[in-house]
Structure 1
Amino acid sequence: MKKIGFLSFGHWALSSQSATRSAADALLQSIDLAVAAEELGADGAYFRVHHFARQLSAPFSLLAAIGAKTRRIEIGTGVIDMRYENPLYMAENASVADLIAGGRLQLGISRGSPEQVIDGWRYFGYQPAPGQTDADMARQHTEVLLDALRGQGFAKPNPQPMFPNPPGLLRLEPFSAGLRERIWWGAGSDATAVWAAKQGMNLQSSTLKDDETGEPFHIQQARQIRAYRAAWKEAGHAWTPRVSVSRSIFPLIDHRDRAYFGNSRPEGDQIGFLDEKTRAIFGRSYAAAPDALISQLAQDEAIAEADTLLLTVPNQLGVDYNAHVIEAILTQVAPGLEWR
């Protein structure tokens, strides 16, 4: 059995070919797609966070709105760039969204990816300490967030407060019990996956990672997952972690599918550079008839290792079409792979 959700980047563009022509369109349609996905039986509605781009950026209001309009589906991110975040304010926002959703928040975070501007986190008021990198700063923000979500008091109370305080040091409020165990780290390398395990975070692995061995993407990603699980076991945490992978999968069923994706030639992995030093491998997309997809996906070792699959959706094609794609995967592909 696998949990199956969708992952949306929330793009919008003022174009006649886009169904999302404004930020309002992207936000409202994200809510509508989450509601539709829940009705279809999907397990998760996840959203990517980018700054300085015509995409979703500030996730907690959106997640709270989805949480209020749904009852069962997990709501989450994949991922929030921790270089930009005030971890204590983030802990409050995340707890609010989680309480509104009744404990369904799955919060994916990471050190970030290449972005639209140079060192965008500086505009948000953050700067690495002397001797630190921006990745170090992201991990430091993460550690503060994780500590805050444990719900332990750390702030000295005012002896003459406006309202009566409970005894002892004060914690952030509201506090959402269990949220600390629903934090995920988006790892781009084997080493960061191992670090996430040691920190007690679930693992999100995307459609790209550092090309560390030259092997096919799905084999490298499966090895990353196994390294993560071994590090988790060694750390001795008291709960069982979850692991998600992301894929672009499009069953070719009707004229719309064939028009959008039917002319896509079978593609393998791609190699690129995230910066001057980091060689990355990008996993392939899948577009074929359901029977062919079942055969192709059965050979994907990383999907087999993961307990959660996030389907990257082309949100600019609109809610109805993306709901159609999700339904086709749930009903015509997942059963053939014994995911359902």
Structure 2
Amino acid sequence: MKKIGFLSFGHWAPTHGSRVKTAAEVLSQSIDLAVAAEELGLDGAYYRVHHFARQLASPFPLLAAVGARTSTIEIGTGVIDMRYENPFYMAEDAGSADLISGGRLQLGISRGSPEQVVDGWKHFGYAPAEGEDSAEMARRHALVFIELLKGEGFAEPHPRPMFPNPPGLLRLEPHSEGLRNRIWWGAASDATARWAAQMGMNLQSSTLKWDETGEPFHVQQANQIRAFRAAWAEAGHAHEPRVSVSRSIFALKTDMDRQYFGRGGKESDQVGVIDDQRAVFGRGYADEPERLIEQLKADEAIAEADTLLLTVPNMLGVDYNVHVIETILKEIAPELGWR
């Protein structure tokens, strides 16, 4: 049984053909899509976070709003860039959003992706410590954040507080019990996947991976997942981890589907260079349902993961994305034993 969610990058642009022209529209439509997806029976609503871009940026107001409008669907991120985050403020925001949702947050965090601006985290007031690079700074922020989520007291109370304190050292409030086990790390390499396992974080493996062996993307990703699970077992954590992969999957059912996604061109992996490293990008899937099912059966990483995130074309509007999700749930997922 696999969980299936959507992953929205939250694009908006005042261009011809866009059904999401403003920041206000992308926020309201992101909420509406989560509500509609829950009604269809989808398991998760996940959102990408990018700064200095016409995309979703500040996740916690959106997560809280989705939590208030829904009742069962998981609500997550894929991913929050920890180079930009104050772990203490983030722990308070995350605790609040998780309590509003009744404990449904699944927070994906990571060192982030290539940026719109040079060293954007500097504008947020952060800088690597001496001897650190920005990726190491992100991991340091992450470790502080997950430590705070344990809910243990660390701050000395004032001798004359404004309000009475409980005994002992104080923790950040509000604290949401269980959120610590629902933190995911977005890993682009085998080494960071193993590190995430050692730290007790779930794994989010996306549509990009550092090309470490030259094998097809889905094979490298499946091996990364196996390395993560082996490291998790070696670390001896008490609970089972979760693993997600994200894919662009479109069943061509209507003339509109074929117009948008039936032209081909993404049937094989793509290779590029990011941050001076060779990266491999996973293929997209768009075909008639019968052929699509056979193609997905051959994806080793999808088989290894327990959660599949469908990347959705949010700029085509809520109604079209509901159609995309519904087709996958009704015609594709059952044939693959996902539901």
Pairs within 5 Å for 1:4-19: 4-19=4-19
Residue in 2 that maps onto 1:178: 178
CA apart distance, 1:200: 0.2
Distance 1:291 1:331 in 2: 13
Q: Is the aligned partner of 1:320 residue 2:309?
A: no
Residue in 1 that maps onto 2:97: 97
Residue in 2 that maps onto 1:153: 153
Cα pair distance change 1:115/1:181, threshold 3 Å: same
Residue in 2 that maps onto 1:78: 78
CA apart distance, 1:265: 3.8
Distance 1:33 1:266 in 2: 26
Pairs within 5 Å for 1:33-182: 33-182=33-182
Distance 1:116 1:288 in 2: 33
Report SS of the residue matched to 1:103.
coil
Distance 1:155 1:275 in 2: 39
CA apart distance, 1:173: 0.3
Residue in 1 that maps onto 2:213: 213
Q: Deviations over 1:251-272 (max 9, x none)?
A: 0001110111111245200100
Distance 1:217 1:265 in 2: 16
Query: Gaps (5+ residues) in structure 1?
Result: none
Structure 1 segments, 4+ long, off by >6 Å, are: none
Pairs within 5 Å for 1:240-319: 240-265=240-265, 267-276=267-276, 278-319=277-318
Distance 1:266 1:62 in 2: 31
Q: Deviations over 1:143-172 (max 9, x none)?
A: 100110000000000010000000000000
Distance 1:266 1:207 in 2: 12
Query: Gaps (5+ residues) in structure 2?
Result: none
Distance 1:221 1:298 in 2: 15
Report SS of the residue matched to 2:275.
coil
Distance 1:144 1:267 in 2: 41
Supply the AA of the counterpart residue of 2:165.
N
Report SS of the residue matched to 2:112.
coil
Distance 2:37 2:309 in 1: 12
CA apart distance, 1:174: 0.4
Distance 2:266 2:237 in 1: 42
Residue in 1 that maps onto 2:333: 334
CA apart distance, 1:332: 0.3
Residue in 2 that maps onto 1:188: 188
Distance 2:167 2:95 in 1: 22
Distance 1:162 1:329 in 2: 55
Q: Percent identity?
A: 73
Supply the AA of the counterpart residue of 1:70.
T
Supply the AA of the counterpart residue of 1:312.
T
Supply the AA of the counterpart residue of 2:161.
P
Distance 2:45 2:259 in 1: 26
Q: Deviations over 1:157-206 (max 9, x none)?
A: 00100000000000000000000000000000000000000000000000
Distance 1:275 1:106 in 2: 28
The two structures, once aligned, show a CA RMSD in angstroms of 0.6
CA apart distance, 1:111: 0.7
Distance 2:298 2:176 in 1: 40
Distance 1:36 1:132 in 2: 44
Q: Deviations over 1:204-237 (max 9, x none)?
A: 0000100000000000000000000000000000
Report SS of the residue matched to 1:78.
strand
Distance 1:90 1:256 in 2: 41
Supply the AA of the counterpart residue of 1:154.
F
Cα pair distance change 1:275/1:266, threshold 3 Å: closer
Report SS of the residue matched to 1:15.
coil
Cα pair distance change 1:154/1:288, threshold 3 Å: same
Supply the AA of the counterpart residue of 1:119.
D
CA apart distance, 1:305: 0.2
CA apart distance, 1:239: 0.4
CA apart distance, 1:275: 1.9
Q: Deviations over 1:47-104 (max 9, x none)?
A: 0000000000000000000000000000000000000000010000001000000000
Residue-pair matches, total: 339
